[in-house]
């Protein structure tokens, strides 16, 4: 019998049956589809508590923090592990992650300048066991986790880590070991393992449900130098959000769970905010291309203005524009400019108030007394990047002037003194320039973008499977109901974390 006639005998219109079949088939094949490229998000807190907290901090402590970080960022690496952080005070933010079976919680620093996740391991030599951060340190034990396994030197992950410097004398059964030396004299050694990593999914606005995945990460068995047991601000390790295939971002993307896009929105006043993995639906933003083949997130500057004054960009010896790259680095507290550019910026900042009497604080910071509103009395400094239209990163006087006393201000701009591997003085735009902005790193499109935003209000992330946009903020994620999803859930992926605020040394 003809199929259409068979349908008509059963009083079921063929068009309706066709639609029904298509719906059933769509549902069926959706169950067979690979893991959804969803989103991940976790709240963060600033080490110094935002603008209110930084006013109580000695400026030399901020500068010392950045010096330690930059020493590690430009470090020589014994083996190319792709990581350049250290679990003491190199990054501004840390969080709590859950690893292993049974699960254990570990406090790790968030670092956009490094590429691997690693934690201190059982019986680690000279690893910290105490900290002033009011957290409990923990050492990972691969033997105590039923899902933990060492990564062999002949396995794909190890090959990816050492692709530029392959391991010598590798034999089946040997661990994939690493050793990293940092510019500040510290060092870490260990081997890579693979284990279960616990997450939460966001199934709606502020609603979460649990899931997990398998992640390869470093297991440190020896520390030395500034990353040793003497550190009073030690944590358990680092989670890197760099560009390499070994980063947690890339591993989750390769598993089909997320896209290679992440963002942060940092509240400059209170020091909180969110880091997110996945597509941002709101607020909208514009982008500029990333400079290719760079270890950090670099973008090309077209011009710098201070108020109405356009400043001279420095050029290298050959007159090439490569000297005009800026590193976007949320792990740096201040902002660092090449010497000539620093002098121009400071000159224009002070030109608005020619009667100011300058003095040096702590021997190096230019300070003055001022009785008015700084945003009215001093110019906005704007870094203008390539784009269509050009993309401006505006830094307001309230951001670059630090109130160190009643009506006493110090200039936060710093002369770089830091050089790239090509020998150029570097422009590093840190937390001073990035606070109160949504900043998006799109590794799929090789672009970085931003827009000014009140980060205390949260952002919207898009679920690529359903097209829905969900509200996410740092303040109201924890109260959401936990529901176990089915394997075909298309909810946003959320890293299950708990944030602790780093406090300063006395």
Active centre residues (catalytic): 111, 329
In the 8-state DSSP scheme, what is residue 303? E
The C-alpha atoms of residue 164 and residue 222 are separated, in whole angstroms, by 24
- Measured at the CA of 192, the angle between CA 189 and CA 195, to 5 degrees, comes to 135
CB 448 within 8 A of CB 442: yes
CA distance 279 to 449: 12
Q: Which residues of 393-413 are buried (b: 16+ CB within 10 A; e: fewer)?
A: bebbbbbbbbbbeeeebbbbb
> What 3-state DSSP class applies to 422?
coil
Q: Which residues pair with 200 in a beta bridge?
A: 210, 494
Residue 125: strand pairing partners: 222
Non-local (6+) Cβ contacts of 237 within 8 A are: 87, 106, 108, 109, 117, 118, 119, 120, 218, 220
List the one residue out of 287, 313, 264 whose CA is nearest residue 392: 287
The whole-angstrom separation of Cα 415 and Cα 285 is 30
Residue with the two structure tokens 């760079």: 294
Other beta carbons within 10 Å of 278 = 25
Residue with the two structure tokens 């976007």: 328
Chain centroid to CA 122: 27
Q: Rounded to whole angstroms, how far apart are CA atoms 379 and 274?
A: 29
Residue 90: Cβ-neighbour burial (10 angstroms; 0-12, 13-18, 19+): buried
| Distance of alpha carbon 37 from alpha carbon 136, whole angstroms | 34
Residue 324 near residue 291 (C-beta atoms within 8 A): no
Collapsed DSSP state (helix, strand, coil) of residue 169: coil
DSSP string for 223-283: EEGGGSTT-TT--SEEEE--SSTTSHHHHHHHTTSB-SEEEEEE-TTTSEEEEEES-EEES
Distances (CA, A) of 416 to 61, 112, 268, 270, 419: 16, 20, 23, 27, 8
DSSP structure string for 15-56 = HHHHHHHHHHHHHHHHHHSPPP-B-EEEEEE-TT-HHHHHTT
Neighbours of 239 (CB within 10 A): 29
């Amino acid at each position: 019998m003809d199929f259409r006639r068979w349908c008509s005998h059963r009083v079921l219109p063929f068009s309706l049956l066709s639609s029904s079949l298509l719906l059933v088939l769509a549902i069926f094949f959706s169950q067979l589809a690979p893991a959804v490229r969803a989103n991940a998000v976790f709240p963060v807190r600033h080490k110094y508590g935002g603008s209110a907290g930084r006013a109580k901090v000695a400026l030399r402590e901020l500068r010392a923090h950045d010096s330690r970080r930059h020493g590690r960022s430009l470090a020589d690496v014994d083996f190319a592990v792709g990581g350049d952080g250290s679990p003491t005070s190199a990054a501004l933010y840390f969080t709590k992650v859950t690893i292993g079976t049974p699960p254990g919680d570990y406090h790790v620093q968030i670092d956009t300048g490094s590429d691997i996740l690693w934690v201190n391991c059982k019986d680690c030599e000279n690893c910290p066991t105490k900290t002033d951060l009011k957290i409990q340190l923990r050492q990972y034990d691969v033997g105590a986790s039923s899902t933990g396994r060492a990564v062999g030197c002949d396995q794909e992950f190890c090959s990816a880590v050492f692709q530029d410097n392959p391991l010598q004398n590798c034999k089946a059964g040997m661990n994939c070991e690493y050793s990293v030396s940092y510019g500040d004299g510290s060092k870490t050694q260990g081997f890579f393992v693979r284990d279960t990593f616990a997450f939460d999914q966001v199934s709606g606005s502020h609603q979460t449900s649990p899931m997990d995945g398998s992640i390869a990460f470093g297991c440190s068995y020896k520390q030395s130098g500034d990353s040793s047991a003497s550190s009073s601000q030690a944590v358990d390790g680092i989670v890197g959000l760099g560009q390499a295939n070994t980063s947690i971002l890339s591993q989750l993307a390769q598993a089909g769970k997320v896209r290679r896009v992440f963002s942060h929105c940092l509240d400059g006043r209170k020091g909180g905010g969110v880091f997110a993995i996945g597509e941002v639906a709101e607020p909208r933003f514009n982008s500029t291309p990333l400079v290719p083949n760079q270890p950090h997130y670099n973008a090309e500057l077209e011009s710098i203005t201070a108020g109405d004054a356009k400043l001279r960009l420095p050029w290298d010896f050959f007159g090439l524009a490569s000297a005009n790259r800026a590193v976007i680095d949320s792990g740096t507290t201040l902002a660092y400019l090449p010497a000539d550019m620093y002098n121009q910026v400071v000159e224009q900042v002070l030109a608005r108030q020619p009667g100011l009497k300058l003095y040096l604080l702590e021997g190096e910071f230019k300070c003055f007394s001022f009785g008015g509103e700084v945003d009215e009395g001093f110019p906005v400094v704007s870094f203008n990047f390539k784009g269509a239209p050009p993309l401006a990163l505006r830094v307001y006087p309230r951001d670059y002037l630090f109130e160190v006393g009643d009506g006493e201000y110090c200039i936060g701009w710093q002369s770089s003194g830091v050089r790239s591997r090509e020998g150029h003085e570097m422009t590093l735009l840190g937390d001073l320039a990035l606070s109160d902005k949504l900043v998006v790193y799109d590794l799929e499109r090789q672009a970085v973008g931003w827009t000014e935003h009140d980060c205390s209000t949260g952002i919207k992330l898009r679920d690529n499977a359903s097209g829905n946009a969900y509200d996410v903020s740092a303040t109201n994620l924890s109260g959401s109901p936990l529901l176990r999803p089915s394997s075909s859930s298309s909810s946003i992926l959320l890293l299950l974390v708990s944030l602790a605020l780093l406090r300063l040394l006395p």
